[in-house]
Amino acid sequence: EVQLVEESGGGLVQPGGSLRLSCVVSGFIFSSYATSWVRQAPGKGLEWVSVISASGGSTKYADSVKGRFTISRDNSKNTVYLQMNSLGVEDTAVYYCAKDRHMGLLPTQNDAFDFWGQGTMVTVSS
Amino acid sequence: DIQMTQSPSTLSASVGDRVTITCRASQNIGGWLAWYQQKPGKAPQLLIYKASSLEIGVPSRFSGSGSGTEFTLTISSLQPDDFGTYYCQQYDSYSRTFGQGTKVEIK
C-alpha cells in the first residue's frame, strides 16, 4: 500500500522563524519518483510549493518561497524534507507531500500527483 | 506563470444530475491537465490525468476532455459521495498551478 506520512515538523512558529517538514513514504520505489510539496492556506485553494527529482539532483520552487525554502530527499530513508526559513504569516497553511504519478520522468518533465500525505499544519504567528 | 481559471466557483445539483466544470488555462498546455477532488479535512484525490485519462479506482461517471486552453470535467450522474471541491491543475510547466476550485454541493 502506497503511503506518504508527514511525520514531523508542523506546528506553531514565530514570524522570521524556521521549520523543517519531513515526509516518509512507503509502498513504492521512492527513488524512482519525483516528489512535491503542496500547501493550502486555511479556507483557500491549493498552491504548489516545490518539487525534487527522483535522484534529488533537480529542484524547483514557486516564486513565493524561492530563496526561503529548500527541498531535499534521502532515498536511503525514503524521506523528503522541506526546510522553511524566514517564515511569514502568509506561509500559514496545511502542507502536503505528494508523489508524481509516473516513474522515471526526466527532471524537465512534470506530472500529476497520484498519492498525497495527510497534511501537516504550519502556523506562523506571534 | 500559467494561470488556471475554473468556473463556476460553486454549484449545487441534485443526485442524478449531469455536472460540468470548466477550466481555462492562460496559455496552451496541450493535454497536461489533471483534476482532483478534495473533501473537507482530507488530501486531494486524483481523478483524471492527461486531460482525459481516468485514474485507477475512480468511478466511470467521471470523465475529462479538452486540450490546449479549455478543459472540462463531467460527472455523468451526480452521486451523494461526490460533494467536495474540485481542482484542475496544469503540469505543462514546472510550477504546476491549480485552479481556484469549484465547490460542489448536493441539493
Average pLDDT over residues B23-37: 97
Residue in chain B lying closest to A61 (CA)? B95
Q: What are the cell numbers at A83?
A: 526546510
Distance to chain A for B20, nearest Cα, Å: 19
DSSP state of A55: S
- Convert the pLDDT of each residue in A73-104 to its tens digit: 999 999 999 999 999 999 999 999 999 998 88
Q: What is d(CA A84, CA A20) in angstroms, rounded to the nearest whole number?
A: 6
Q: What are the cell numbers at B66?
A: 479538452
- Contact list in A for residue B73 (CB cut-off 8 A) is none
Cβ B47 vs Cβ B37: under 8 Å: yes
Handedness of CA B74, B78, B79, B85 (dihedral sign): positive
- Convert the pLDDT of each residue in A30-45 to its tens digit: 999 999 999 999 999 9
Q: What is d(CA B27, CA B31) in angstroms, rounded to the nearest whole number?
A: 12
* A109 has pLDDT over 90: no
On the 0-12 / 13-18 / 19+ scale of CB atoms within 10 A, B51 is: buried
Q: Confidence class of residue B40 from pLDDT cuts 50, 70 and 90?
A: very high
Distances (CA, A) of A77 to A25, A97, A107: 9, 15, 21
Which pairs from B39-48 meet CB under 8 Å and 24+ separation?
A: B39/B83, B39/B84, B39/B85, B40/B84, B42/A118, B43/A96, B43/A98, B43/A116, B43/A117, B43/A118, B43/A119, B44/A46, B44/A96, B44/A113, B44/A116, B44/B87, B45/A116, B46/A101, B46/A112, B46/A113, B46/A114, B47/B73, B47/B86, B48/B73
The β-bridge partners of A114 are none
Interface-testing mutation among B39, B56, B96, with chain A (most A C-beta atoms within 10 A) = B96
* A29 has pLDDT over 90: yes
Select from B32, B43, B94 the Cβ nearest to the Cβ of A116. Answer: B43
Q: What are the cell numbers at B94?
A: 514546472
Q: What are the cell numbers at B31?
A: 493535454
* A71 has pLDDT over 90: yes
- Contact list in A for residue B44 (CB cut-off 8 A) is 46, 96, 113, 116
